[in-house]
Structure 1
């Protein structure tokens, strides 16, 4: 993901030498217990009731006003200091994935079929740790909105909070997000302006032919060879229609047709995904897919249904916020430990917030997996893997970053 290879030893040294806030370091064990409690009771998108209760309860205990219900289960905390009308937002996601955890350590999921396999438990804990410090010290001039978002994993919780008035009720000049990244050493960050994650769209195509006996294909209209032609033609959109320097991925991931070996089926259904780094390229891909599908079917005398659903837009960092965030990261771990973020074809619904307000999305190293306790699963410590676990050692680093970022953005004039 980076222009430099992650270095475990270098990252560990960076973590040891990082300029962390001492009070946050001292609260680290408490935050780790909170994080593990969240990990043990994961909740899926729009079901984050217990998580939201915990978040709202902690914020209230620290004297932070709380607003609830944006995006159904979202929570927004407000920390004000000084007299300035300026404001920024810091966002963490709260939901888990519909996966069965393979880990057996004590804080493994107690909810069958649900798991914090993407580190949202850690994201929530880091922002809570930062919230506690911001409320206690208030070493800034303005307002920090603490955005605890539901339903990032395919539920569009960021868009739901925006529809419920997030930016109208809590006006802010910039919004910031952060995700842990396995393989990037603990003690390192990654940040770049421009696109860092792709759009996520799905498609469904139903090719309607006419079934018949497989020994008498001339009596029917076979949708299967039409589907084969269509699948191959789709790839020419990427190689012959878009500019070679514009990145895009088009994957047909499901092909469903027929039930018997001696029957030509009536229909063949294709589904899959498209990912791009710009809406312009996405527009082109969708238009050409529709044309290819319809005209291929027309050439064979077969009907076609084409459905294209845009789920998440690309995540595109704004220049000035990204540069500021990178400077803050460098001030904590040193410039050598802030790598350039290579764009990934994964998607992130923080993209909706960046479409509405300037801001940026950064990455914090989660290490190489050796932080996991005895009892972890046999798989690697990668995102969306049943053996994943968040690295509690980076909680103070992430919380320190949030605090220093808020102080830098809202420095007294």
Structure 2
């Protein structure tokens, strides 16, 4: 596998960085120690500019190439998840209830490896903007960085990101032109009835039976309102209500996640959900409050930039290790906001067999860090070659 030789020399150093980050996970926008670690490494590398405090704890670093040219953006996320780690590893999380269970420690490490190489060699024209983003898992740090003007402020013309993929063959890349990942919306429905003794249900207005009917009714949006050829997921993930076997509660609530790729379909789902919940509430004599949160939009790759990224990935991993038409999936990613602002592409990089993302036994495979860093570096050198 033709990893850049100089980056291969950083492998042990990158492993040390990654395991330090893994031991000190931070959530959402509170990536203070992580950002400080990243900034310290960037200063050691001799990058030209370091801009801190973007979207609270985000960083954009600039490396100048040899001669005039455009600016290419490379992005890595930094935040962890609220999970108790169960790996038992020596480098396991030291922060109870927090864990790098999605590999953002590895993503940050790969971009740092590319940064060290690019600052040392500068075999490109124009500039590279290294984007270290907080709050991908919760909070939309990508959206906040775009709102704070990073694309215009640093004149970024195209932007790229990668995500590790457990159980995709080691060192293999996968992506798709156009839609790659779904939008994600979240709804909470709070139902209020009249509580009472379980032996006298006729004296109550039971919110639980109303919730059950609502949950069943929501599935008709998928089966009867959406085109069968459209991708749509409505998953009810929580139902809460009641405290004892002989008490009909006063209140109950449920939560659902909604995933699709189409703006009109997103609007239809919201409308039908309100109609179904409202009509069911009236039928069962309860009241319902709906809290509907619009989340991340679909992650949509630019077709031409995707083809370019696939060519670079094939150079690094070999043509047989790259699937440029891998199809789309129902996960979500706030890199979508950056792709709305600038053309670019998002790719998955296989880590081989292991625990899946967001699992307490997950750990990033350090062996792929030089591959990801090489991909980032070759993107820059290929997109903006020295004249």
Superposed pair shares fold, TM > 0.5: yes
Deviates more, 1:202-211 or 1:26-35: 202-211
Instruction: Say whether residues 1:364 and 2:349 are aligned partners.
Output: yes
- In structure 1, distance between residues paired with 2:196 and 2:20: 58
- The reply to whether residue 192 of structure 1 matches residue 176 of structure 2 is yes
1:108-187 to 2 correspondences below 5 Å: 108-187=92-171
Query: Which of 328, 334, 343 is residue 343 of structure 1 equivalent to?
Result: 328
1:244 corresponds to: 228
* Structure 2 stretches lacking a partner, 5+ long: none
What is the aligned partner in structure 1 of residue 21 from structure 2? 38
Could you tell me which residue of structure 1 aligns to residue 360 of structure 2?
A: 386
Give, in whole Å, the separation in 2 of the partners of 1:341 and 1:84: 36
On the 8 A contact 1:330/1:336 being kept in 2, the answer is yes
Structure 1 unaligned blocks of 5 or more: 1-17, 370-380
Partner residue in 1 for 2:287: 303
Q: CA deviation at 1:345?
A: 1.9
User: Cα distance, 1:275 vs. partner?
Assistant: 1.3
Find the aligned partners of 2:358 and 2:244 in 1 and give their Cα distance: 36
After superposition, the C-alpha distances for 1:42-87 in whole angstroms (9 at most, x for unaligned) are 2222222121112111111222110000011111110122343411
Offset of 1:207 from its aligned partner? 2.2
The corresponding residue for 1:21 is 4
CA deviations over 1:90-118 (Å, ceiling 9, x no partner): 00011112222222332222222222111
Deviations 1:106-161 (A, max 9, x none): 22222222221111111111111111111121111211100011111112111121
Q: SS state of the match for residue 291, structure 1?
A: helix
* TM-score, normalised relative to structure 1: 0.89
Task: Tell me the SS of whatever aligns to 1:296.
Answer: helix
| Aligned residue among 327, 335, 339 for 1:354 | 339
Say if 1:213 and 1:180 are closer, same or farther in 2 by CA, change over 3 A. Answer: same
Say if 2:184 and 2:258, in contact at 8 Å, map to a contact too: yes
Q: Which secondary structure does the structure 2 equivalent of 1:366 belong to?
A: strand
List 4+ stretches of structure 1 deviating above 6 A.
none
How many residues align? The count is 385
Shift of residue 213, structure 1, vs aligned partner: 4.1
1:209 and 2:193 correspond: yes
Residue number in structure 2 paired with 1:398: 372
- TM-score normalized by the length of structure 2: 0.94
How far apart, CA to CA, are the structure 2 residues paired with 1:219 and 1:393?
A: 64
Distance (Å, rounded) in 2 between the aligned partners of 1:155 and 1:364: 24
